[in-house]
Structures are given as C-alpha cells and as structure tokens.
Amino acid sequence: MPKPGTITAVKGFRDVLPEESRRWRELEAVAAEVFGAYGFGEIRLPVVERTELFARSLGEATDVVEKEMYTFVDRDEASLTLRPEATAGVVRAYLENGLVTSDPTVRLFYRGPMFRRERPQRGRYRQFYQIGAEIFGRDDALVDAELLVMLTRYLDAVGARATLELNSVGDARCRPAYRDRLRAFARAHLDALCADCHRRAERNPLRLFDCKVETCRAVLLRAPRIADNLCDACRTHFDEVRALLDRQGVAYVLRPELVRGLDYYVRTAFELVAEGLGAQNAVGGGGRYDGLVAALGGPEVAGVGFALGVERLAMATGTTARSDARVRVAVLPLDARAVPPALALATRLRDEHWAVALEASGRSLKALLRSADRRGARLAIIIGEDELRTGRATIRDLAQRRDVKDALPLDAAAAELSRRLDALDEAAPARSTDA
Ligand code: AMP
C-alpha cells in the first residue's frame, strides 16, 4: 500500500509493467503480420474526438454514450470525448482523408487505448487497449467470412482459445418491426424488469439485452429473437456467411440473442469468448455496420470490423517466460577511474545489440558479481586497477564461477568484442534464470 499522501493512479487506470508489455508487443506484432496478409494497413488515430462523433455513431441511448464517456469542455468550449472505441474515429478519418473517394474498398487496422467509465473489476478497466480492424466498401458475405477467418487465425497464432459466437441482427428493413415486437414484449413484462430496462424498452429496446441484472436476463431469455425475424436479404447474407465459414472449417456457435452494445451494427454480429477469464470473458467482438459511414456524413459505403481487448487477450494467452532485458553480460567497474572505460566498453557492446548491465563502481567485487548474477548475466567483465594498467579486462564466467583464460583488450573493436563474447556465451551452460 502506498503511504498516505502519495499520489496513486486513478481508479480503473493501470500501469503495464515490462513483463506484460512485452506480451502486448508480441500480440501487436502478430496482429500486424497476420492482418498484413489479408491486405490491412495500419491507421493511428487521435484519442480525442468531438463528442458528437460518438453520440451520432454509437447511438444516444447506449450505455457507452449515456454513462461511460469521458467528456469535457475544451477551452474553446468544444465538447470533446476520450474515445470509448475506435470504429467511429476510423470512419471519420476515412472520410476526412478522402480514402472514400480514392478507393472506397479499404482495409485498416488500429491499436491503442480506449476509455470508458465502467465499474472497474478484473478484466475491466477505464482505460483499456484494443487491436481492431475495419473493412470498408464491401457488403458481400465473403468479406464477413474473410474477416472471421483472419480473426480465428490470429487467435490461433497468439495461442488464445476462444469460441466464436455468431448472430445476424438484421438491418433497416427488418429491425424496426423486430424492435416493435421486442418493445411489446417488454411492456408485457414490465413488472419483472428493472427501471433501466423500462427506459430501454421505450427508447431503444435492443439495448434490453445489455442489461446485467439477473432477473431481467431471465425474462429476456423468452423475448422474441432477431434471428427469427430477419428479412430475406439478411437471411440470405447470414446463410452465405455461415456456409463460407463451414466450408473453411471455422467453428462457431449461434447466439440468437447476441445484439452487441452499440446501435450501428447490422447483419453479422459476433463475439469471441474465452475460458478462464471469469465474468469479463469476451476477448473481442464486432460486426457489420453498413449505415455508419452515411450516418457520419459520407456516401452509402458498407463496413465490417472487430475489436479485441488486449488486456483480456494477454490474460487468455498467458505471458511468455522470456524476459525483455535478457542481460548476457555485466560490466563491472571497480573504482571511479574504471568508469569511463566501462561505459565505453558497454556502449560498444550495446551497439552490437548485446544486453549489457553496467554496474555502479565503488562496491566490492563480491557484491558486483552477485548483482550481475541476479540480473541473469552469463559473463562479467571486470575492470579494476590491474585491468586499467594492463589494458585488458578480466572475463568471469558466472556459471562456472571462474575467470576465462584470455583477458579482453579494453580497446578491442566492437565486432571483435562481440565475437569473443559470443563464443564464450555459447560455451557457457544455460542458466536457470533464462528458463
Ligand atoms: P466492445 O466493442 O465493447 O465489444 O469491446 C471489444 C472488446 O474490448 C471486448 O470484447 C473486450 O475484450 C474489450 N473491452 C471492452 N471494454 C473493456 C474494458 N472496460 N476493459 C477491458 N477490456 C474491455
């Protein structure tokens, strides 16, 4: 516990320490590689957008817009919001940068922090990170299937075991009638529904399915389902997506009550659920949003995409044992005079991409060796009075606990140093700390 008076991070905001961030880097690198094979380029977006962008795209009566956005008034009185998700920003950028006119079929992926003022718990934070991808300009079932194939390939590649849950949420033709049926159902069951659900039933009945209250959920199990109320075009599209996934051997389960938390989804909607994550078990989700580009002032351009939660992906896949700063060599200056040559030697080695620990002078050799050992170094290069006089540094094999026969010329060129140490490093037995 920090001492009283110490400044701590804000509730729901957390630090990502080296061991975890190394895993994140891998998750991101694999995404860039896998998504690249499917023709995606990376877009980097601002974290702040005009509030209106989210109000217009996510839907006024969604939990995110009503309760969870970090919104503030800027000095020029503009209302700004820390992005709660990135699709709206990608669409804005797609329109603003003229991508829509140069080639409306564009594939973009992104990564970065999102902000939602949710109740923090394990796997749920107020700043969290997503990796996501969007395809614009195609409304055929093939791209939905392609996107889902890519997603499952990516999850396999990072070792995440997740179930793909799939549904179709209809479109502007079939959803209004369904919405009315759902509202009628809710009105007939008002006694069993919470106050939030009363409001949802009137303003945006699809959001009833977002309710986390157990008794409401039980009632909603009996509600009419969108999947049974699709128009012919939506039904055909969904059948085609499923047939392609079946042919490709992509496993999924149908979830007829899956509607996703945001208003802009049409037709294909999906979630990825992992085991062993507790209550917050969705590692990702997405779907089709054919009306969104037009709703944000652009032409009628179709879109489909997904977002994965990086914290949950990392939890679902575990960390790798390898450590980031895998120190191989420690340079140990024994006194102040040894410091400049020690820094020079360490720098030359680091230029050759050796991970070097450079210890402070003035401690006993024993203490320095212990510290080098603790950092996992295999070899220690000792520079003391004798070494300065002879111009040759002693090399200690830390695993064998003895000095290597040939001392190292302090002025040896970087490549020569590297060659010598490479040979010694390879000959040294593997250290337990590396396992
Ligand atoms: P959504 O668009 O809300 O379905 O979010 C997509 C994914 O982002 C989810 O499946 C989660 O993995 C992740 N995610 C969403 N909200 C949070 C949060 N508050 N904390 C951590 N991860 C989140």
Given CATH 2.40.160.40, say whether it is the number of domain 18-174+230-317.
no
Residue nearest (by alpha carbon) to ligand 1 atom 18: 124
pLDDT in tens, 402-416: 888 888 898 888 788
Mean local confidence (pLDDT), 290-316: 95
Question: How many whole angstroms from 244 Cα to the centroid of ligand 1?
Answer: 27
Provide, rounded to the nearest whole percent, the portion of the chain with pLDDT above 90.
69
pTM here? 0.86
Residue having the nearest C-alpha atom to atom 4 of ligand 1? 285
Distance 86 CA to ligand 1 centre (A): 11
The fold adopted by the segment(s) 329-427 is: Rossmann fold (3.40.50)
CA of 35 relative to ligand 1 center, distance in Å: 20
432 has pLDDT over 90: no
Please tell me the distance between residue 409's alpha carbon and the centre of ligand 1 in angstroms: 55
Question: For residue 125, which atom of ligand 1 is closest to its CA?
Answer: 20
pLDDT value at 380 more than 70: yes
Location of each CATH 3.40.50.800 domain in the chain: 329-427
Of 347, 304, 308, residue with least CA distance to 134:
304
Q: Which residue has the higher pLDDT, 360 or 42?
A: 42
Assess whether pLDDT exceeds 70 at residue 322.
no
Q: What is the mean pLDDT of residues 102-128?
A: 95
At 133 the pLDDT is 98
Amino acid (one-letter) located at 331: V
**Residue 313 alpha carbon to ligand 1 centre in Å:** 10
With CA atoms as reference, report the closest residue to 427 among 350, 328, 331, 290.
328
**From CA 360, how far away is CA 373, in angstroms rounded?**
15
Cα angle: 165, vertex 175, 57; to 5 degrees: 80
Task: Ligand 1, residue 285: give the atom nearest the CA.
Answer: 4
Pocket of ligand 1 from Cβ distances under 6 Å? 85, 116, 118, 123-125, 128, 130, 261, 282-285, 307, 309, 311-312
Could you report the per-residue pLDDT of 68-80, keeping only the tens digit for each?
Answer: 999 999 999 999 9
Q: How does pLDDT run across 41-64, given as a tens digit for each residue?
A: 999 999 999 999 998 888 777 778
For the segment 169-219, what is each residue's pLDDT rounded down to a tens digit? 999 899 899 999 999 999 999 999 999 999 999 988 988 988 889 999 999
pLDDT (0 to 100) of residue 325: 59
Which part of the chain has CATH 3.30.930.10? 18-174+230-317
Confidence of residue 342 (pLDDT cuts 50, 70, 90): very high
User: How far, CA to CA in Å, does 193 sit from each of 119, 153, 210, 221?
Assistant: 22, 40, 13, 12
Is the distance from CB of 150 to CB of 84 less than 8 angstroms? no
Question: What is the residue-averaged pLDDT of the chain?
Answer: 90
Burial grade of 363 (CB within 10 A; 0-12, 13-18, 19 or more): middle
Closest ligand 1 atom to the C-alpha of 271? 10
Residue 206, CB-side half-sphere exposure with 13 Å CA sphere = 24
Residues in the chain: 435
